[in-house]
Amino acid sequence: MDVDIATLRRILKNCRTVAVVGLSAEWHRPSFFVAKYLQEHGYRAIPVNPRYAGGRILGERCFARLEDIGEPVDMVDVFRRTDDMPPIARSAVAIGAKCLWQQIGVVSAEADAIARAAGLASVADRCVKIEHARLFGGLHWAGVNTRVISARRPLWVA
C-alpha cells in the first residue's frame, strides 16, 4: 500500500473534487480542518455524512452516501474506522472515483485491493492535508504555514 512521491503529486494535482466521507460539521475535528484546507487550496470538498445529510458543511451540501452525490468525484477521502472501509471502497468504484484515500490510522488491505482491482489509485494511512502541504510547499516546521520566509528561528526555540 506504499505510494511513491510522484504518484502522490499526480493524485493531488489531478483529483480536484474530493468527497470527504465522515466529514464533521464541528470545526475542531480533523475532517473539518482537512476539508477547509482543501477548499482554501482550490479543491472542492463534498461532505458525506448521514448525520448531516441535506444540510451544509463549509458551504457545500452534505450527502448521506457517495452514491447520492450525482456528479463526478475524483477522490474519496475517508475519515472512518478501518472496518468501514470495504463498502466505502466499493462505493468509490461504483461512482467512478479515480482515487481512494484512507486517512492517518485507517488501513484496510481489503479496501485497497478493491480500489486497485478497479483501477483506482489507493493511498492509506496518510493525511491529504499533510501530503499536500509537504509536496506543494505549505508545511512549516511546526506543521502549519506561517507565510513567513526566514532563516531565523524564533527566539523561544531552543
Find where cell 480542518 sits: 33
- Provide the residue-wise pLDDT of the chain in tens; the chain has 158 residues: 678 999 999 999 999 999 999 999 999 999 999 999 999 999 999 999 999 999 999 999 999 999 999 999 999 999 999 999 999 999 999 999 999 999 999 999 999 999 999 999 999 999 999 999 989 876 655 555 555 555 555 555 54
Query: E strand or H helix at 156, and its extent?
Result: none
User: What pLDDT is stored for residue 158 in this prediction?
Assistant: 46
User: What pLDDT is stored for residue 137 in this prediction?
Assistant: 79
| Within a domain: 48 | yes
> What's the DSSP call for residue 102?
E
User: What pLDDT is stored for residue 2 in this prediction?
Assistant: 78
User: What pLDDT is stored for residue 22 in this prediction?
Assistant: 97
| Within a domain: 130 | yes
Instruction: Assess contact for 62 and 40: CB atoms under 8 A.
Output: no
| Within a domain: 10 | yes
Domain count, the chain: 1
| Within a domain: 157 | no
User: What pLDDT is stored for residue 116 in this prediction?
Assistant: 98
| Within a domain: 146 | no
Closest C-alpha among 75, 70, 83, 66 to residue 115: 75
Instruction: Assess contact for 85 and 110: CB atoms under 8 A.
Output: yes
| Within a domain: 41 | yes
User: What pLDDT is stored for residue 140 in this prediction?
Assistant: 57
| Within a domain: 19 | yes
What CATH number has the domain bearing residue 91?
Answer: 3.40.50.720
| Within a domain: 42 | yes
Tell me which residue range forms the domain holding 44. Answer: 5-136
CA 52: distance to chain centroid? 18
Answering whether pTM is above 0.75, one says yes
At 78 the three-state DSSP class reads: strand
Q: Would you call 158 exposed, middle or buried from its count of C-beta atoms within 10 A (0-12, 13-18, 19+)? A: exposed
The CA distance from 78 to 106, in Å, is 8
Name the maximum alpha-carbon separation found in the chain: 53
At 24 the three-state DSSP class reads: coil
Per the rule left: phi > 0, alpha: psi between -120 and 50, beta: everything else, 70 is: left
